[in-house]
Chain A
């Protein structure tokens, strides 16, 4: 058992790390195409070695620690940020049970019956690292960026949490495996269109992506909470951000797009991860497309949108879903 867990955990962590490296390349290439540029294409075929080159460069960079920074927290903050990002997808099923030569292998690390609660808890933890980074840097831009990020993330977490309730209501379970199985006939995006849109917008704000990338507004905060970070510590923040992007796409695909479900997945369970990652790649493509299209939203409007529009609509969506479910049945 332990060996199986270790292998699966290592696969998940390595997958997220490699995924991070190639999502940066995917973003740079796609964004470049959308801006009629070519993007990085020199390192390796199609620029495929570019993430490796970037990583090696960052390892050999000098790491600066500001004089008045709180050194312990300054060093710990990137680690605290990256840990939740790495473990959040542990409860997401990549597929059902696979049989190889008589032994059954489940294509998920673990199926906890409070999977959604786990997701919510881990997303909340990731706020700490960002706040601590902004505070410990002893830089007013970093402090402002950290505070903005915290206020934005906790505000949109309300709408995000409420958008989880719709799929739970329909599936009658918080286990992500049950939620995926409940979507075998019809994906929840068709039953919960409002919930899907709320999830999509709130998740954009949660991972600080354009058009909600206020915490990192380059033009006014010079980069926000990680302005004083360099070298591998900077790489950890970058890594956390992109891994959260993949994680959000995985969670969204699992909750609303049917997760690993797809044609012939019952006969060939090995197709499960393929479908899941195809959905994730499309989802990430939409994120990048949005970044290329939309300008940044003003901060007061961002907060007002989160509290005065997203939260009431999300609440209404939950109540309407519940009423329909009880009165009409389903």
Chain B
């Protein structure tokens, strides 16, 4: 069974090779004359102010955590979808219970305002 995955390793190594080859092309053929002005952050020609890496909104972390929760739910869906015909009504009831529990969480998150973006 595992031999189906060997071709994926082959194409992965070719893709890695190509990626580094393109970067190497630029390094080999491009000129390199750095100056202080060129190295400054680009802010549409204005004099840059403040730090480049600033504190970021906590919303992004919240979205990431919620994503992990619901993405795992989708991963549960995939094997269930493959064998649903064999499982029949029992599989259907099981999945409805599972989705029901998750929906309670989803409604809670929604009502708490975690999905609002100000």
**With A112-B8, A143-B54, A174-B78 in contact, do A13 and B18 touch (Cβ < 8 Å)?**
yes
Task: Select which of B4, B7, B39 is within 8 A of A66 by beta carbon.
Answer: B39
User: Is B41's CB under 8 angstroms from A228's CB?
Assistant: yes
Q: Could you tell me how many residues of chain A have their Cβ less than 8 Å away from some Cβ of chain B? A: 88
A51 an interface residue at 8 Å Cβ cutoff? no
Complex Cα distance, B71 from A42, in Å, reads: 48
A residues 132-182 with Cβ under 8 Å of B?
Answer: 135, 137-143, 147, 150-151, 154-155, 157-158, 161-162, 164-165, 168-169, 172-174
Chain B, 27-47, contact with A by CB distance < 8 Å: what is the 0/1 string? 101111110101111111000
Complex Cα distance, B101 from A42, in Å, reads: 61
B77 an interface residue at 8 Å Cβ cutoff? yes
Chain A residues in 8 Å Cβ range of B27: 63, 232
User: Is A111's CB under 8 angstroms from B63's CB?
Assistant: no
Complex Cα distance, B45 from A222, in Å, reads: 11
Complex Cα distance, B7 from A312, in Å, reads: 37
Chain B residues in 8 Å Cβ range of A172: 82-85
A209 an interface residue at 8 Å Cβ cutoff? no
User: Is A233's CB under 8 angstroms from B26's CB?
Assistant: yes
**With A60-B29, A109-B7 in contact, do A323 and B67 touch (Cβ < 8 Å)?**
no
> Interface of chain A, helix or strand or loop or mixed?
helix
Task: Select which of A78, A111, A308, A326 is within 8 A of B115 by beta carbon.
Answer: A308
**With A143-B56, A158-B74, A322-B95 in contact, do A300 and B118 touch (Cβ < 8 Å)?**
yes
A residues 102-154 with Cβ under 8 Å of B?
Answer: 109-113, 116-118, 120, 124, 135, 137-143, 147, 150-151, 154
**With A13-B14, A139-B41 in contact, do A232 and B23 touch (Cβ < 8 Å)?**
yes
B: interface residue count bin = 35 or more
Complex Cα distance, B53 from A117, in Å, reads: 35
Shortest CB-to-CB span from A219 to chain B, Å, is 10
B residues 92-118 with Cβ under 8 Å of A?
Answer: 92, 95-96, 99, 106, 110, 115-118
User: Is B26's CB under 8 angstroms from A232's CB?
Assistant: yes
Instruction: Pick 28 A–B contacts, CB within 8 A, sort by A.
Output: A9-B11, A13-B14, A60-B30, A62-B30, A79-B20, A82-B15, A86-B15, A87-B8, A138-B52, A139-B41, A143-B52, A143-B53, A154-B63, A157-B67, A157-B71, A165-B81, A168-B82, A172-B83, A172-B84, A222-B44, A231-B30, A232-B25, A236-B23, A311-B70, A318-B77, A325-B85, A326-B84, A327-B89
Interface of A toward B, CB cutoff 8 Å: 2, 5-6, 8-10, 12-13, 17, 58-68, 75, 78-79, 82-83, 86-87, 90-91, 109-113, 116-118, 120, 124, 135, 137-143, 147, 150-151, 154-155, 157-158, 161-162, 164-165, 168-169, 172-174, 222, 227-228, 231-233, 235-236, 239, 299-300, 303-304, 307-308, 311-312, 315, 318-319, 322-323, 325-327
Interface of B toward A, CB cutoff 8 Å: 4-8, 10-12, 14-16, 18-20, 22-23, 25-27, 29-34, 36, 38-44, 50-54, 56, 59-60, 63-64, 67, 70-71, 74-75, 77-78, 81-85, 88-89, 91-92, 95-96, 99, 106, 110, 115-118
